[in-house]
Amino acid sequence: MADKLRAQQQLEALQARYIGIGSADTSKHEWTSNMARDSLASYIGHPPLLQYMSIGLGQSREKTRVQLLERMIQPVGPPPKQDD
């Protein structure tokens, strides 16, 4: 029992430290948001990718960067209603 508790605590510590570590209760929304945010952060972070997208959109890199950051706020829409 103590082992189980410790494992639980360790998992929680990891979850606090690294975003995106799932658990049995991770919902589809959480998971997809997480994926989308990871992708968006990668588009912003890799300079050639950001440039590629900016050229496609015909705008400056800074503008594309801000647009992608804004999309990170809620990438897959609002969370589903909780049934209580």
Partner 1 sequence: MTSFSTMSLYALTVKHPSATQDAITGDFMGNQRQQILTANGSRLSIFEVSRRQKGFQEIYSQDVFGIVRRIGKFRLAGGNKDLIVITTDSGRLVTYEYEHEPLQQFKTVHYETFGKSGIRRVVPGEYLAVDPKGRAIMIASAEKNKLVYILTRSGQTDIAISSPLEAHKPQTLVYCLIGLDVGYDNPMFAALELDFSSAETDPTGEAVQELQKELVYYELDLGLNHIVRKWSEPVDRTAHTLFRVPGGQSAPSGVLCCGEDNITYHRIFNNKTQMHRLAIPRREGATEDPNRKRVIVTGTLYMLKGGDFFYLLQTDDGDVFKLNITHDNGTVEKIKIKYFDTLPIATSICILRAGFVYLACESGDRTVYELESLGDDTEDPVFESTQFPVDPTASYAPPFFKPRGLTNLTPVEALPSLNPIMDMEVANLALEDAPQIYTIHGTGGRGTFGTTRNALEVLDLIESPLPANAIGVWTTKMNVEDTEDQIIVLSMASSTLILKIGEDVEQAQHHGFFEESSTLGVQQFGEDCIIQIHPRGIRHIRNLQFEQGDAQGNDPKITNWDSPPHRTIVACAANNRQVAIALSSGQILYFECDSDGSLAMAEDDDITLDSTINCIAIPEVSEGSVRANFMAVGCSDQTVRIYNLHPDVEGNILRSISVQGLSSPPSDLTINYMRDKSPRGYSQFLHIGLRSGVYIRSVLDEMTGEIGDTRRRFLGPEAITFARVTAAGEPAVVAMTSRPWLAYTHPRTSVLQLTPLNYIPFKSAWNFDGSAFKGIICVNANELRIFTFNDLLDNTTYEPIQLRYSPRKFVSYPDQGVFYVIESEHNTIGADIRQMLIDQAHSNGPAKMGTDGEEALTNGHTFGDELDPTKFGYPKAQGQWASCIQIVDPITEKKVVQSLELKDNKSAVSVALAYFESRGENDMYLCVGTVKDLRFTPYQYTSASIQIYKVSPDGRQLEFVHETEVTQPPLALLPFKGKLIAGIGTDLALFDCGMRSLLRKAMQPNAVSTRITGLKTQGSRIVVSDQSQSITYVVHKDQVHPNRLIPFADDTVARHTTCTEMLDYETTVGGDKFGNIWIVRCPAKVSEAADESPDGLNLTQDKAYLAGAPNRLDLVAHYFSNDIPTSIQRTNLISGGERVIFWSGLQGTLGALIPFSSRRQQKMFQQLELQLRGDDKPLSGRDHLAYRSYFTPVKSMIDGDLVERFLVLSRDKRESIVGQLQGNWTSEMVDEAIWNMRGLYAF
Positions that interact with partner 1 (CB under 8 A): 16, 18-20, 37-38, 41-42, 44-49, 51-52, 54-63, 65-66, 69, 72-74, 77-82
| Complex with partner 1: residue 8 or 42, whichever CB lies closer | 42
Q: Which residues contact 15 (CB under 8 A, 6 or more apart)?
A: 21, 23
Q: Which residues contact 80 (CB under 8 A, 6 or more apart)?
A: 27, 29
- Which helix (H) or strand (E) element contains residue 77? none
Task: State in angstroms the smallest separation of the CB of 74 from partner 1.
Answer: 5
| Complex with partner 1: residue 6 or 45, whichever CB lies closer | 45
Q: Measured between alpha carbons, how far is 14 from 81 in angstroms, rounded to an integer?
A: 27
Task: State in angstroms the smallest separation of the CB of 56 from partner 1.
Answer: 6
